[in-house]
Structure 1
């Protein structure tokens, strides 16, 4: 059964902080040299049986929408679809996101959702650690975390 997808609200902040800290080490996320507090961004919450089980946050600038965080087992595709639709309704032409070079699960997931790799930002995570020192040195499958991979989803009129 599909989860209920609803807007993220201030009443979700404590839950989101716990979820983001468990997944990212803190609610702070760095992408392309920008430090975000994901609990202050707009987003969507996935609920199952009236219980929050997933979260996506985003940042819209001009006609681009950056997906800043996404987490929640089995609900990512629903959260991503809601964000794509919202971005389209806001007049965005492009959605984009950053993941790290070790995150092979995310690379598989996003490509299955129709997203394309658009850039490799070499050693960007090394720079990101200056803003968020808690970023681990190794990640999935003991792969050193060094680079940001940018993926995009283009919206056509």
Structure 2
């Protein structure tokens, strides 16, 4: 658990994630860890409610090695076996790499929540104002995949 907490702290600025105004602690989520031999190389954190699952984070310690793709594929297979019919996630409007990643794997953009990140900063002030590629962070993008 300490490794996952350190990863979330590094990647997300703490061990609490805010999605659509709701706070999630890493310790309250199901987790799937990717391994390369004896080394942890990725983490998916998610929660399941009835026949829907929300991915709160999908992190690979090294980019462009297929870790994220393998994690996502393994997670989706596991969720299918559990009779989950829909997987969804939220990402911030600066995360254009995630938008590309998920769309290439069959996820569809289903919503834009204008100002949601601005409101989330009230709960988690550590959310930066400026994100990837110098893009100001204000909104949440919602993506989903059904089967």
The answer to whether structure 1 residue 15 and structure 2 residue 15 are counterparts is no
Number of aligned residues: 143
Alpha-carbon distance in 2 for matches of 1:40, 1:54: 18
Q: Which runs of 4+ in 1 moved over 2 A?
A: none
Alignment of 1:43-82 (within 5 A): 43-72=31-60, 73=62, 74=65, 75-82=67-74
Structure 2, unmatched stretches of 5+, are none
The answer to whether structure 1 residue 39 and structure 2 residue 24 are counterparts is no
Post-superposition Cα deviations, 1:21-53, rounded to whole Å, max 9, x if no partner, equal 111111211111111112331121011121101
1:98 alignment partner, one of 76, 90, 97: 90
| Secondary structure of 1:36's aligned partner | strand
TM-score, with length taken from structure 1: 0.88
CA shift at 1:112, angstroms? 1.0
The answer to whether structure 1 residue 127 and structure 2 residue 119 are counterparts is yes
TM-score, with length taken from structure 2: 0.94
CA RMSD of superposed structures (Å): 0.9
Structure 1, unmatched stretches of 5+, are 1-12
